Structure 1
């Protein structure tokens, strides 16, 4: 906001503060990005581990089904029928590479060699007697093999899963995370080699997950430095923006230090000098697009700085307690500019003015509204007070008396930016309001964001159920206009119909309509 000039600070403190102001947003931004990247990687590894367990459970389910089917054949001769049954399970069951029958801890019949290959079975090799992650077998000595063993007394049936399927799953499930499959003392990673050393501990986003159905576990994670690599690959544009805003903050801090802020004094001076003027933005009917009224927006016409945006001084005016006299002056300016042309208005022409919690602390607003309406012919205009939520309006006895008195005057109440504040629904419950104003952030997402569309439709539906009028702000495209009109929105406001204009320009445009 405009500030009174003052001699600048000494050079060293000024430059130090400027540098700190530049570095602070960059440091905070990098810290937030790092935290976000860590969370993303942790979620990725958790999902990767869950998917790996799902895949390995599926493989072992097929091996278990094969073993269960073949177990009744264990102990019978390894004839053609037995061999055919073994090979049939290999053919029918995905991931199963070979099936084997054993009797009294000795292999005597397999789908690969029939009855010509015999070997003893050592139950201690198997975790809980069931699972064994082998480094290889005589057929493929350098290829990992996962064996599932099912035993009933002296009978046993075994089904093996080729290491190709295991390493494929470890390699393909995630493009970011590293995976390790551990069964007993042995473990396997994406290189396909079975090792019996300590399982590696990942430095970033380590996630350990044990299967609930079989005796194995999965470890997922990433090497050290992966967070920074991830940030560099995913957020290059954000880094550029951080540097840009950091430099901008530094330049702004350097400029502001050459000026002194005495905001309340400056606002009081501007109020006394009558520098706060109304701008008018048209509001049209949703069905006919005819002009139905306008919203009065406060602007500061500063003698040196020019036109000052309201977001630069309205919050400060509220904190200083000057917003009430500023609004009173705005109402008088508005009446002085519009009243001479009131007979040209459509009857019931709406004029919207923002009010805050400061206006609701006593009944002075009633007198201000009465004076405003008295400047116009009876019934020619309708004054709409729009409740803003920068500060909460408490539902006190004075507030209720104020709203009752305003309604008796014919003044209508609207909730501004409905759906974005912390108390919009509380206002509906506690105050007798007439209109809801949909925030422009929801209107802007029409056709682009499904969630915002659902919220928007819900607000429109709510207004219908409560028999409230509804105004949509920020309408900028014909698509948004048609969308809102089709859903029965009463009034539309936005750049599609007109930007905020000073009084003379607005009146000329209004009369041409």
Structure 2
């Protein structure tokens, strides 16, 4: 878990993220189910429309066969033979309700009335002169009738389908979809009534299909809200599963936020796994440039994130109090790694380690330093504790006893980043310190900023008057090095002499010096 300097999220923010995490899988799942339901309904209505066209085509095929058989009789007398032929087609052909003959656009012979019924034919009533959806006839008024007309010159034969059959087709083909049969400007639904107004448009899964053989079309679809009704009837188990995963995601999100809001848990885990490791940056003498020691810098070797920058976890470690056991672990690792190579060190080789106000609250630090020094031969190394100023160290009886005990052990005290903290001068007055470490911000302005150079000169002069050693941090150029050496600075530290390195590389660099 990579750490940041941001504090824990506010409670309202955490609950908002938890709610979003819970609702997101539910909303996404519902959206997917809705899309799937729409597709299913569209496929269903498309199949319904195709089946309706197939059924109506089948009916019209029978009427066409009846008309083809009768059209040669058109123009002949409407005698018993002609009437028998008309009635035979009604009997033999499924769905055919009535047949008639016309001559020169005059109906003169019918299967229902024989020659007793005559009527003038208006070809404009028929779509392309072939098909007419009419609202009944004198026998069955206000009942749909689909009439098929076959014309050969002055001859014409008619065969009609009762609206009852058409309504049954529209009603029985699908349990869910609604169907409309349209012929020219007229249309009918499963109520068997013919309408001349504009045909309705379905809100859900509308399908429009035109017959390839006859002049009519079928519309299939569903009313608004049908998708939700379909989902409720078909997906109840999936809805329960979505709610379960939503609750699970919310709980997991809340747990992860609580875990991330308490980064000390991750620091504690990393401490137990020995993921905090020492890196070593050389410190050289200002006059000879010989390696006089090193500063031990803590790094976090995270198993997933790699090497984590110290500014991302040191402040959190200090705030949580874990910086004390982390420093203790760092001292143990440093002693274990450097002690086998101590013969290569010059006598009194300085090893600097940062401490904070947390270390100064009891005398446990004395035992940690005693254990560290015990790993080396007497006089082989000098341990330097560098006081950082992220937290103020208050001068109490405990701190005075602590620093006295450390000096008795031969441990030296340095003030880190001197000149930038509000407490630096107070530390000089209240604590018996041995070194001042000039902050790199002043060193970086050598040759560029006159005010910073004057402050730098004042710090160097102050250290000389107080008989304190002085270390300059952040030396990166030869110009800075030469200026500091000319001013009598005791020790130099920076990228010009070496970057922080793990132990093996540090020892190799030391050997090359």
Contact in 2 for aligned 1:9/1:258 (Cα 8 Å): no
Alpha-carbon distance, 1:262 to partner: 3.2
For the residues of structure 2 that align with 1:413 and 1:295, how far apart are their CA atoms? 13
Aligned to 1:478: 478
For the residues of structure 1 that align with 2:366 and 2:461, how far apart are their CA atoms? 32
| 1:289 matches 2:250 | no
For the residues of structure 2 that align with 1:257 and 1:269, how far apart are their CA atoms? 17
Alignment of 1:257-272 (within 5 A): 260-272=260-272
Aligned to 2:411: 411
Alignment of 1:168-317 (within 5 A): 260-317=260-317
Contact in 2 for aligned 1:3/1:261 (Cα 8 Å): no
Can you list the C-alpha shifts for 1:423-452, whole angstroms capped at 9, x where unaligned? 000000000000000000000000100000
Alignment of 1:74-93 (within 5 A): none
Which secondary structure state, in structure 2, belongs to the residue aligned with residue 501 of structure 1? coil
Can you list the C-alpha shifts for 1:120-150, whole angstroms capped at 9, x where unaligned? xxxxxxxxxxxxxxxxxxxxxxxxxxxxxxx
| 1:402 matches 2:402 | yes
Give TM-score scaled by structure 1 length.
0.51
Aligned to 1:346: 346
For the residues of structure 2 that align with 1:279 and 1:3, how far apart are their CA atoms? 20
Aligned to 2:498: 498
Alpha-carbon distance, 1:3 to partner: 5.9
Contact in 2 for aligned 1:389/1:423 (Cα 8 Å): yes
Alpha-carbon distance, 1:512 to partner: 1.6
Aligned to 2:363: 363
Q: Which runs of 5+ in 1 are unaligned?
A: 16-255
For the residues of structure 2 that align with 1:3 and 1:384, how far apart are their CA atoms? 29
Alpha-carbon distance, 1:343 to partner: 1.2
Contact in 2 for aligned 1:418/1:424 (Cα 8 Å): yes
| 1:463 matches 2:471 | no
Which secondary structure state, in structure 2, belongs to the residue aligned with residue 509 of structure 1? helix
Which secondary structure state, in structure 1, belongs to the residue aligned with residue 267 of structure 2? helix
Can you list the C-alpha shifts for 1:440-482, whole angstroms capped at 9, x where unaligned? 0000000100000000000000000000000000000000000
Can you list the C-alpha shifts for 1:329-363, whole angstroms capped at 9, x where unaligned? 00000000000011111001000000000000010
For the residues of structure 1 that align with 2:21 and 2:265, how far apart are their CA atoms? 29
Larger Rg: 2
Contact in 2 for aligned 1:415/1:424 (Cα 8 Å): yes
Which secondary structure state, in structure 1, belongs to the residue aligned with residue 442 of structure 2? helix
Go from structure 1 to structure 2 and tell me whether the alpha carbon gap of 1:283 and 1:399 turns closer, same or farther (over 3 Å shift).
same
Pairwise CA RMSD? 2.5
Alpha-carbon distance, 1:12 to partner: 10
Alignment of 1:20-59 (within 5 A): none
For the residues of structure 2 that align with 1:413 and 1:399, how far apart are their CA atoms? 12
Alpha-carbon distance, 1:387 to partner: 0.2
Contact in 2 for aligned 1:3/1:266 (Cα 8 Å): no
Go from structure 1 to structure 2 and tell me whether the alpha carbon gap of 1:454 and 1:13 turns closer, same or farther (over 3 Å shift).
farther
For the residues of structure 2 that align with 1:278 and 1:14, how far apart are their CA atoms? 45
Can you list the C-alpha shifts for 1:93-145, whole angstroms capped at 9, x where unaligned? xxxxxxxxxxxxxxxxxxxxxxxxxxxxxxxxxxxxxxxxxxxxxxxxxxxxx
Aligned to 1:191: none
Aligned to 1:380: 380
Q: Write out the 4+ residue segments of structure 1 that deviate beyond 2 Å after TM superposition.
A: 6-15, 256-262
For the residues of structure 2 that align with 1:359 and 1:14, how far apart are their CA atoms? 47
For the residues of structure 2 that align with 1:509 and 1:486, how far apart are their CA atoms? 26
Count of residue correspondences: 272
Contact in 1 for aligned 2:259/2:265 (Cα 8 Å): no
Alpha-carbon distance, 1:260 to partner: 3.8
Go from structure 1 to structure 2 and tell me whether the alpha carbon gap of 1:344 and 1:3 turns closer, same or farther (over 3 Å shift).
closer
